[in-house]
Amino acid sequence: MSDPNEILKGLYDETLVGNAPRVLELTEEGLAAGMEPQSLLFEALIPSLEEVGARFERGDFFVPEMLIAGRAMAGAMERLRPLLAETGVETVGTFLMGTVKGDVHDIGKNLVNIMLEGAGFEVIDLGVQVAPEKFIAAIEEHKPDIVGFSAFLTTTMPMFKANMNALEKAGLRDQVIVMVGGAPVTQEYADAVGADGYAADASACVKRAKDLIEQKRAKVPA
């Protein structure tokens, strides 16, 4: 198969049913046909996962379906990662990232990481279910420019506030820029917890992260 539209449709359909081997094959076929990695991601893989979420909401899909679709997408992401994150770019800053405690969703976070790496950030990923103490220890160790908290559940979003409190308590709040994000997060929520920045998607996150670093560097004399 080498027709781009058929490849995109195939990727969408096979991600929806969680056929990981076929998703990987189609990803290879798309790349071999000269398609852009971004096109595979934004025109097929992400819309498919959005449909998975919609079906879950309607009660047509359950957790296992969500899980296998997520795995199928993650397999393709592994293949696309080095292509999306072009190397050789000067380091813009250090970004420490993690999914908050109680939350295992990591596809959105991983996508943000890939885009940040591609834009020249050094990314330190703490993984999922990251407790406030772990964020604090990692900030003390790595001294990042930015820490990012990712949450995909309305029930885990309050962990942002818990993390902010832990930062205050450790005396680190002024030393690091805080960004928050994840499917249910809004600018209003980010403001309410006192974060410095929010972004709805990976490319907006890269832009906002760069702006926040520039603003901070402009304030602090070198």
Q: Which is nearer to ligand B12, 6 or 216 (CB)?
A: 216
Among 159, 199, 206, 213, which residue interacts with ligand B12 (rule: CB under 6 A)?
199
Among 103, 125, 145, 196, which residue interacts with ligand B12 (rule: CB under 6 A)?
103
Cβ at position 6, least distance to ligand B12 in Å? 23
Distance (Å, rounded) from C-alpha 71 to C-alpha 19? 9
Residue pair 73/15 in contact (Cβ under 8 Å)? The answer is yes
Burial of residue 159 (CB within 10 Å: 0-12, 13-18, 19+) is: buried
Which residues, 34 to 93, sit near ligand B12 by CB under 6 A? 46, 49-50, 52-53, 56-57, 63, 66-67, 70
Which residues, 172 to 191, sit near ligand B12 by CB under 6 A? 179-184
What residue is closest to ligand B12 based on CB? 181
CB under 8 Å to 72, separation ≥6 — which residues? 14, 15, 18, 19, 20, 23
Structure tokens at 151: 């949450």
Strands 197-198 and 121-125: unpaired
Residues that bind ligand B12 (CB under 6 A): 46, 49-50, 52-53, 56-57, 63, 66-67, 70, 102-109, 111-112, 148-150, 152-154, 179-184, 199, 201-202, 205
